[in-house]
Structure 1
Amino acid sequence: MEEKRLQERLRRAVVLIVAAGLLLLAAGEGVAAFLARSMVEVTKDQMRAETDEYKNRLEKQMSSDYQILTTMSGFLEFSNVDEAENFDEILNEANLRNDFVSMAYFPLNGSGVVAVLGQPVRSDVELAEMQPEVQEVVAQAWQGEMALSDLVQSELTQEKIFIYAIPVSRNGDTVGALIASDQVEIFSDILSGDTVLSGNGHIHLLNSKGELLIHSQNSVVEESVASIYEEPYFSGQKAEEIRTALAAGESVYSSFHCEGRSYQALLEPVGIKDWYMLCVSRVQEASGLYRIVTVIAVTFAALLLLMVILLVYGYRLTRRNDRELRDLAFHDALTGGDNLRGFTLKLQEALSQRQDVNLAALDVRQFKFINEIFGRERADKLLRHIHQQLQARLEEGEFCCRDSADLFYAVLLNTDPEQAAARLRNIMDEACAAALQDANSDYHVLLYAGMVAAPQCAASGKVDDVLTHAMFALERAKGASCNSVWTYDTELHKKEEVANFVESHMHQALQNGEFRMYLQPKIDLTSGRLGGAEALVRWTTGTGRMLYPDQFIPLFEQNGFSVSLDLYMVECACKQLRAWLDQGIQPVPLSVNQSKLLFFEADYIQNLERLIERYQIPASWITLEILEGLALENAGELNSRISQLQAIGFRISMDDFGSGYSSLNTLNSLQIDELKLDRGFLMEAADKNDPRSRIIMEQVVRMAKQLGISVVVEGVETRENEALIQSLGCDFGQGYYYSRPITVEEFTARYWGEPKEAPHGPAL
């Protein structure tokens, strides 16, 4: 038996070694192929560099020819020599002094002059007498363009030539065309160098149709062919691919065979007309360099095979311990099921393939006390029991795991979240029913669970996000006293995230000046003019995100940070009033909300006095807005504090009257200067189907006026709202009908235009 097992192990080892050897051999071949490709790339780069060099030479020659013609054109432009009687002699002399085969001048209106080397000068030549290629370039020059012909057979010299043409201008108008021709040999000399690819290549000039314009003397193909689509160059499918590329003006790298040998070919556009350069490399693919690469690859493979032999022992040890490593990596030693790592792999696969995945996180209530009461062994047995119950009640495609301590995860498949939650409750009830029964105890085990429903799982698709959401829901479920399931709520989670951000950043935000003062105007209902403004806070975070008061003010009132923020807003108001004064603007009073916590601070009044003294402004320009709820606890103490503030000069306003426990007795008991009626009060009074509310509002306004209290109405949104509060005798209106809360800069520009720049006041 042991021998069979040993033989089996040896057989496996041999198979593994053979497979590794084949793999390494393939790797060696891959390296060889890589080296061969690298050599091809190097050759291609060299060919491209050589082509660029010869393109530059060709461009320099043509530029030189054009420069000569341009110089003569300039001479003609300013000298009027073309009108001289001996112009034909001048043109002939110019032709003799250059390398051109011929030169000619054709005025826009009239006959031309043609000078050809070795031939008498011809005068009074009609353009129509010249061959079509000459007529074409002259016509282009008459249009003000510099022209160049294709390779043509000259009727005058019976040689292959290129024809240049440039316009001759006078006073900004084209008056003629100056042309010259060069023999094709001048370009052949440029392309027939012996140094192309260190003597291992040559270059031809052709057009986009594949027609060879200049055939290099140092050529692989001895025969003079008219086109690269003739043997032995390119044919068949390769020829069609090259034809398409040349027509599109693209570079092409290819190869062809000639007399049993392979050659590389690079076709590069010249940038002149539709000309291409064909660079051919005579370095053969089957040369000694490639054989060297093959030898290197074989040697490399042999060395790697030797290394495999040395690795066999290590492989056998790895094979022996592989199962143990897998168990450690993906399984939970306590329950025998998956651990979190194994679970997340399955979860990721399920999320990517299904739309009905519900993820649940389960925890045992007060598990630490179970450990203390029953001991570690009993607690571990409980965990194994819960895992077994979960596993037994899962359906096909579902799975679960224990993460750590008493935390479990399970995946349930159902597109209906309510059905999935109901099923999870049943599983929890059954799992807890038999728990700890053998401990002779009446201890009742409870579970709570957080579930991420299928729609949220499908929308997220990320394991980490879904697990985080499940833990968030689990935390929300802890408050119940029975087996409870809390389903993840996206909106609630967003609110929790905002609350966490607010509490963790509020102090730094105050230091960084992220809380900004916005102003909403109060309009005098008698004059229709600006009568004041309410200071409202907005939080613009360092990333540019805007937070509104309802996202952070309630939390600040709970944690006490409203004390610092409210005092900061008073200072912002004082600073702005000072800035207006420094700009030569007559300020309007500003109202600032004050929380209960701040209003009864021991040093509250002293802090306000320091602020108005620091910014040198009258206290009467600041209205402190308080809520009616302050009077419910101790009206006497509140009135005492109000009297102290009024003695300094501050005005006191009761905000949101009519929104809660408002009573007319409040107007009598508090010595306030201003009453702000809540928007809801106005909406009810504006309802024509509810005349009682209007009567009540009318009486409140009348009583306030009799007590000498000014009345401000919030939430004015329409002209009808304004007309109503005017008819009731209110003093000021505030709301979107007049303006939304706006920045201080917008407020200043709107009501006072663009003021001059104010000097810098005290820093906040």
Structure 2
Amino acid sequence: MNEKMTRLQIKKMVKLIIGVVFIMVIITGFLIYSLSQTMNDSARKQMTIETEEYKNRINKQIESDFQSLDTLASFFTSEMIEDRDSFARRLDTSNKQNNFRTMAFFYGNGSGIVSTLGLGVKKNMSYKDLNEAVHPVIEKAFEGEKSVSRLFKSDAIDGRVFAYAIPVYIDGELSGVLMASDQIEIFSDIINGNTVLGGNGYLHMVGTEGNFLVRSQNSVVKEKISNIFDGPYFDPDEVDVLKQEMKDQKKVFSSFMYEGERYQVLLDPVGLNGWYLLCVDTLQDSNSSIYPVLGIMGVALVGVALIILFLLIYGFRMVQRNNRELWHRAYHDSLTGAKNLPYFNQELAKRLMEGRKLSVAALNIHQFKFINEIFGREYGDTLLREVKEVLDQKMREGEFFARDKADLFYLCLLDTDREQILTRLQDIMSAIVNISSHHHNNYQILLYCGVASNEENNKDVTPLMTHVMFALTTAKGSYQNNVWFYDSDLHEKEKKENYVESHMHQALRDGEFQFYLQPKVDLRTGQLKGAEALVRWVKADGSMIYPDEFIPLFEQNGFCTKLDRYMVECACRQIRQWMNEGTEPVGISVNQSKLLFYENDYITTLTNLIQKYDIPGNLITLEILEGLAADHVDELNHKISLLQEQGFRISMDDFGSGYSSLNILGNLHIDELKLDRGFLMEVSDGRDARARIIMEQIVQLTRRLQISTVVEGVETEENEKLCSDMGCDLGQGYYYSRPIPREEFNRKYMEQVQ
């Protein structure tokens, strides 16, 4: 009986152990499956984040190309596109500047102009003569819709290209279609690189059928295959299913074995023309290091349930740690430990969607690359880590920061008050400078910072980041600890300056700098005695850019020398025209910049001009500013004498606008003195008797020196009488006329002379 009971107990115990082991095996199997899914989900999530980032870059490239076409189309006018020969040249020039393979414009009847790099321009070409892949996008553009074509092989450039097309509206009406094509290889710079999955992955771009469009240079697959289904990427049994899913533009996850290692792979649709990004994680399958451990745990469950439980817990914790490491790698900077830009953008987007008022600051170190060169890379890295430590201390609750690349840090501050932000940033920069000074007392670390605030409750990250980078670029110009706040007016001014500098040469070639004249009148007789040449920039669409918007820029970049020579030639040409018409010519004065006046061939150039047009030199007066006489008076007088020998008259412009000196009148051998309108304004109000005495004495002195006087800014009859009473020779100003085009000047003044 006892033996029977013992056997029963043993049987029960065996059954219990078997049951426990069976349950533990089931639990183990479930845990193994869960662990595998968790790790796969983590890897897939990271790959999805990565492909989304590169898809955004591709779409930004396409949007940038559309923006280039929109910008170009905005300058088209009816007159411009009607002159097909001139328009063809402009289109060809634009194509070269924008680096498209082909650029074309088609009129409403389907014919147009096609410019191909290296092959020139074809006129009166129908869009039907182009590759049939282009027809749909052009026809959509004629219906008012911009689009991108599928990929096709171009015989003209022997390569695979795709085309953009946009409708062109002039005065609110559809006037045609602007088309451009580019090679698929423009995405190579985006696809190639060592930063995919933190350097542990790579990307290919493929078509709907699986053909490679753009290959990464970092592929682990060594075979040169033309289609992803011909290689090791997918099991042949699942190819048909995959092709259908790609045709339906679905996202596909998979894995493959190659040379004994397993790799994760993701096919993610770009959202354009059926293109896909093929993302491969080059780390060996993250589960492979866990399976042996889990296998040992399963075997050990048969004998030691506790060890299995322990190993299961250990394995679970290891997976958790692995996930944390993956997350840390995705959102942290490996050098400093700070958050990185993807994290910053995500968190910033959350704050903006919540409607939080905040500011973004971008912080940079002056001459950081030279710091690396002078003190070594190790010191530069140490400095970046110290910046991170300072920011850790200075950030308030709810604020965050990130390091993007090199020495660029972004800060999200929950402040919009400029004074408070300025105080905080100056405190941060001072703390960084103080820490760095301990390493190199003889080298002063300097920083600069740009700030943009979200005061208008904008929920989009991109404009805010664009504004802060513009402010940072502006702050860089000052070599000191500097903070610059984004200013929309300043941004618009810089955009206008960029337009001026990028279009000035073309404007000179196209004759957009127009020749205006303002009369100079004899104060004794009231008769016309001369005119001053003034430049106006009138664009092809009839709008005008005013002198104060481009003259200062031209003086900085040196373009004023070309413009001044152009104006002298316009003056010579106008005088020659009067002489040919039998009209008694009047002298024309032309402003001359300091840069031009000191050019080596200056006198030769001007002499050749008056000889070319066969006019007397004394009809050209060269106006110089008194600043030219500040230094090298003897050299300046020598040049003036050489010009006077050729008959030119020399005038000093704006006398009295700066720190004028009577010594200038005695030292320089000028023929004419132009009194700045500021003199006349002070004298005219009758309250400054001393100003009148000074002006009268200057006029008397110039008469004794045989220098004629011209008063600028004569705007009333009282101004004219005042200048006449003081003995001035000529008057110039709006009382007589504003600056007017030469055709109007000829009708108003020269026809009377004739």
Q: TM-score range by the shorter chain?
A: 0.5 to 0.7
Moved more, 384-393 or 675-684: 384-393
Contact in 1 for aligned 2:452/2:471 (Cα 8 Å) = no
1:508–1:327 distance in 2 versus 1, CA, 3 Å: farther
Q: From 738, 742, 748, give the equivalent of 1:750.
A: 748
Give 1:412 shift: 0.7
Change (3 A) 1:749 1:492: same
Deviation at 1:653, TM superposition (A): 1.5
Partner of 1:592: 590
Could you tell me which residue of structure 2 aligns to residue 367 of structure 1? Answer: 368
Structure 1 residues 42-68: Cα deviation after superposition (integer angstroms, max 9, x where no partner): xxxxxxxxxxxxxxxxxxxxxxxxxxx
Indicate whether 1:7 and 2:35 are aligned: no
Whole-angstrom distance in 1 between the partners of 2:473 and 2:435: 25
1:697 to 695, 698, 714: 695
- Give the Å deviation of 1:356: 2.9
1:610 corresponds in structure 2 to 608
Q: Quick one: which amino acid aligns to residue 453 of structure 2? A: A
Residue type of the alignment partner of 1:510: L
Shift of 1:419: 0.2
Kindly indicate whether the alpha-carbon contact (under 8 Å) linking 2:352 and 2:457 is maintained by their aligned counterparts in 1. no
CA distance in 2, matches of 1:436, 1:600: 46
Q: Structure 1, residues 65-96: CA drift from partner, whole Å, max 9, x if none?
A: xxxxxxxxxxxxxxxxxxxxxxxxxxxxxxxx
Structure 2: how far apart are the matches of 1:612 and 1:711? Answer: 25
SS at match of 1:716: coil
Match of 2:453 in 1: 454
- Measured at CA, do residues 352 and 520 of structure 1 come closer, stay the same or move farther in structure 2, by a change above 3 Å? farther
Aligned length: 465
Cα deviation for residue 447 of structure 1 reads 5.1
Question: Is the alpha carbon distance of 1:541 and 1:346 closer, same or farther for their aligned partners in structure 2, counting shifts above 3 Å?
Answer: farther
2:753 and 2:402 mapped to 1: Cα distance? 69
Q: CA deviation at 1:360?
A: 1.0
* SS of 2:715 mapped into structure 1: coil
Matched letter for residue 656 of structure 1: D
Q: Does 1:425 align with 2:426?
A: yes
Matches within 5 A, 1:718-729: 718-729=716-727
Query: 1:577 maps to which residue?
Result: 575
Query: Structure 1 pair 461/587, CA: closer, same or farther in 2 (3 Å)?
Result: farther
Q: Which residue of 2 aligns with 1:644?
A: 642
Contact 2:359–2:415 (CA under 8 A) maintained in structure 1: yes
Does the CA-based 8 Å contact 1:449-1:473 persist in structure 2?
no
1:655/1:385 CA distance change after superposition, 3 Å: closer
> Aligned pair in 2 of structure 1 residues 330, 724: CA closer, same or farther (>3 Å)?
same
| CA–CA separation in structure 2 for the residues paired with 1:6 and 1:445 | 63
Residue 676 (structure 1) shift: 0.9
Runs of 5+ unmatched residues, structure 1 = 16-299, 757-764
Note if contact 2:523-2:724 (Cα within 8 Å) is conserved in structure 1: yes
Q: What amino acid is the match of 1:686?
A: S
Q: SS in structure 2 opposite 1:601? A: coil
CA contact (8 A) 1:415 1:454 kept: yes
- 1:68-83 matches, cutoff 5 A: none
* Structure 1 residue aligned with 2:485: 487
User: What residue is the counterpart of 1:134 in the other structure?
Assistant: none
> 1:510 offset after TM fit, Å?
2.8
Q: CA deviation at 1:350?
A: 3.7
1:140-180 CA-to-partner distances (Å, cap 9, x unmatched) read xxxxxxxxxxxxxxxxxxxxxxxxxxxxxxxxxxxxxxxxx
Equivalent position amino acid for 1:592 in 2? V
Q: d(CA) in 1 for partners of 2:683 and 2:490?
A: 35
Question: In the alignment, residue 398 of structure 1 is paired with which amino acid?
Answer: E
**Deviation by residue 1:646-697 (Cα, 9 ceiling, x = unmatched):** 3333222221112223333433433332221111111111131111111111
What secondary structure, in the 3-state scheme, does the structure 1 residue paired with 2:586 have?
coil
Given that 1:383 and 1:406 are in contact with CA atoms closer than 8 Å, whether structure 2 keeps it comes out as yes
Identity in percent: 53
Q: Give yes or no for contact 1:360–1:449 (8 Å, CA) kept in 2.
A: no
User: RMSD across aligned C-alpha pairs, in angstroms?
Assistant: 4.1
Match of 2:108 in 1: none
Q: TM-score, normalised by structure 1?
A: 0.53
Name the amino acid aligned to 1:627.
L
1:469: Cα distance to partner? 3.7
Q: Given residue 407 of structure 1, which amino acid in structure 2 is its aligned partner?
A: L
Which secondary structure does the structure 2 equivalent of 1:641 belong to? helix
Tell whether 2:642 aligns with 1:619: no
Whichever of the two has the greater Rg, that structure is 1
Q: Secondary structure at the match of 1:534?
A: strand
Alignment partner of 1:739 is 2:740? no
Deviation at residue 5 of structure 1 after TM alignment: 6.3
Matches within 5 A, 1:533-548: 533-541=531-539, 546-548=544-546
Hey, what does 1:344 align to over in structure 2? 345
Number of the residue aligned with 1:161: none
Asked whether the 8 Å contact 2:450–2:473 carries over to 1, the reply is no
* 1:11 Cα offset (Å): 6.8
Q: Distance in 2 between matches of 1:597 and 1:312?
A: 66
SS, match of residue 659 in structure 2: coil
Code of the residue aligned with 1:359 in structure 2: it is V
Q: Give the TM-score normalised by structure 2.
A: 0.54
The question of whether the paired residues in 2 share the 8 Å contact of 1:657 and 1:675 is answered with yes
Cα deviation, residue 342, structure 1 = 3.0
CA distance in 1, matches of 2:697, 2:252: 99
- Which residue does the alignment assign to 2:526? 528
After TM superposition, the structure 1 = structure 2 runs for residues 163-178 of structure 1, keeping only pairs within 5 Å, are: none
The one of 675, 678, 682 aligned to 1:677: 675
1:434 Cα shift? 4.7
CA contact (8 A) 2:362 2:410 kept: yes
**Which of 694, 709, 723 is the matching residue for 1:711?**
709
The one-character-per-residue Cα deviations of 1:553-598 (angstroms, maximum 9, x if unpaired) are 3343344333222111100111222333445544322110112332
Please tell me the residue identity of whatever aligns with 1:747.
F
CA contact (8 A) 2:355 2:457 kept: no
Distance of 1:404 and 1:629 partners within structure 2: 46
Structure 1 residue 713: Cα displacement:
0.5
Helix, strand or coil at the partner of 2:335? coil
- Determine which of 640, 664, 667 is the counterpart of 1:666: 664
